[in-house]
Structure formats: structure tokens, C-alpha cells
């Protein structure tokens, strides 16, 4: 006996193809962004990165002590933002562990 083939409706097939294309496009965009961030991080000036870390550390200490801090600086590169955030967290943690 032959099994009867079930034909999928046109709008379902179209939707599945559209979803596949959308997933591929988003994956390509994500990969491009990851590569760009990696290249920025690799080419970042280490002295500037350490300066942002120190600024973040000082801001984290001040915030943990309850002092008002200035607004977060504008970052030119992702690596500067990451260094500032790491410093902020380390400053916050170091002050909180003292108490």
C-alpha cells in the first residue's frame, strides 16, 4: 500500500522559508558584530583600557559608600565599556566586603 503524501499549504511553506531566511540573516549580523567587537578589543590601547578600569573602580567605591557619582562616561569602544564595568564591579565588591 502506498501512503498518501500530505501536501503542506502554500502559506505554511512560505512562512517556513521566510523564517529560515530571517534566521540566516540574523546569524550573519550577529557574527559580523562579534567579529567587529573582537577586532576592536584586540586593537584597543591597553593604557586607555586600564584608565577606564581605574575610573570604574573609583566610581564603584563611591557608589558603595553612598556618595553621588558623576554620570557614566561615553565609551568609544566596547573594550573601554567592559573595562569600566569590570572596575566598577570590583570597586563595589571591595567596599562591600570591608563592611
Q: What are the residue ranges spanned by the domains of the chain?
A: 1-43, 45-99
Our CA angle for 30, 36, 42, nearest 5°, is 135
Q: How far is CA 15 from CA 5, 7, 23, 28, 60, in A?
A: 20, 15, 12, 20, 49
Segment of 27-31, 41-45, 57-61, 77-81 carrying the highest mean pLDDT:
27-31
Residues 6+ apart with CB under 8 A from 53: 83, 84, 86, 87
What is the rounded average pLDDT of the residues 64-68?
Answer: 79
pTM of the model: 0.64
The C-alpha cell 566586603 sits at 97
pLDDT at residue 5 in the model: 79
- What average pLDDT does the chain have? 87
Amino acid at each position: 500500500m502506498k501512503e498518501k503524501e500530505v501536501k503542506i499549504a502554500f502559506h505554511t511553506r512560505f512562512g517556513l522559508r521566510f523564517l529560515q531566511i530571517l534566521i540566516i540573516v540574523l546569524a550573519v549580523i550577529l557574527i559580523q558584530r562579534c567579529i567587529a567587537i573582537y577586532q576592536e578589543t584586540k586593537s584597543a590601547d591597553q593604557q586607555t583600557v586600564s584608565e577606564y578600569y581605574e575610573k570604574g573602580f573609583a566610581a564603584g567605591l563611591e557608589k558603595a559608600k553612598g556618595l553621588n557619582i558623576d554620570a557614566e562616561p561615553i565609551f568609544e569602544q566596547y573594550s573601554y565599556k567592559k573595562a569600566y564595568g569590570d572596575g566598577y564591579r570590583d570597586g563595589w565588591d571591595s567596599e562591600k566586603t570591608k563592611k
